Amino acid sequence: MDDANYADRVNGQMYTRFIKNFHEVMKPETYLEIGTQSGGTLMLAGCASIAIDPKFQINVNVAKGKPTCFLYQKTSDDFFHHYNPTTILGAAIDFVFLDGLHRFEFLLRDFMNAERFAHERSFIMMHDCVPPGFYMTTRDMDDPLRLQKSRFGPWWTGDVFKVIPVLRHYRPDLKINVLDCAPTGLVMITGQPSRRRSSSCSRRYYSLGLVRPRPRRVRPYWSDLRVQDSQAL
């Protein structure tokens, strides 16, 4: 089966530019990100920040302009098990960016953990949930299916796209905006926290679609997806 091509639906502004503009306009005072790697997105924040990554590869000055900047070289599960980010930052988190391991269950768990430390006006953004092709959604980055058949080179989103229909089903209280940010989309979520409603995801966590994505799942996802113009926000 040929690789689906939805690249024309994620050809808006680069996701890093959107995040940069968001910091400049909204001016969050506290920021947390998961999946920092080389520090490109962390560098965009000018407020008190927490960055979590099991293997930092930072090659830029990510602390510049920040009153505080905490780096935790560990998995996000380990971080949330041992630390309270509101205690570290002295306040609830205004802005969360999730770009960790590209597997459905990890992103969903990161969202559930992060929103516990958010407030009613917080923003949570998730990367890579709008894959322009099917073969980049393999759960294993080194899957021969992706390496041999994907028309998008090294791009790998994993199956994190499945988080969106799950949240829409179990969390109707959330406002979910799917943006056309290149190259693999950006999802902006507001409306948290809601302890009672978020528990509906937690109770069903181990039965929420932890299966290998197939074209018949990816294509209906796209057919139901309303992608917004990031320039219009």
Per DSSP, what are the bridge partners of residue 126? 98, 187
Query: Is residue 28 reached through a cis peptide bond, with omega within 30 degrees of 0 on the bond before it?
Result: no
Q: How many CB atoms lie within 10 A of CB 196?
A: 8
Q: Which pLDDT score is estimated for 198?
A: 54
**pTM score of the predicted model:** 0.91
Cβ atoms 49, 33 nearer than 8 A: yes
Give the whole-angstrom CA distance, residue 145 versus residue 152: 12
Give the whole-angstrom CA distance, residue 135 versus residue 117: 35
Query: Is residue 193 reached through a cis peptide bond, with omega within 30 degrees of 0 on the bond before it?
Result: yes
Q: What is the pLDDT of residues 119-176, one digit of tens each?
A: 999 999 999 999 999 999 999 999 998 999 999 999 999 999 999 999 998 899 999 9
Q: What is the pLDDT of residues 37-57, one digit of tens each?
A: 999 999 999 999 999 999 999
Across the range 183-195, mean pLDDT stands at: 85
Q: How confident is the model at residue 203 (pLDDT cuts 50, 70, 90)?
A: low
**C-alpha dist (Å) from residue 96 to 6, 50, 52, 163, 207:** 27, 10, 11, 16, 26
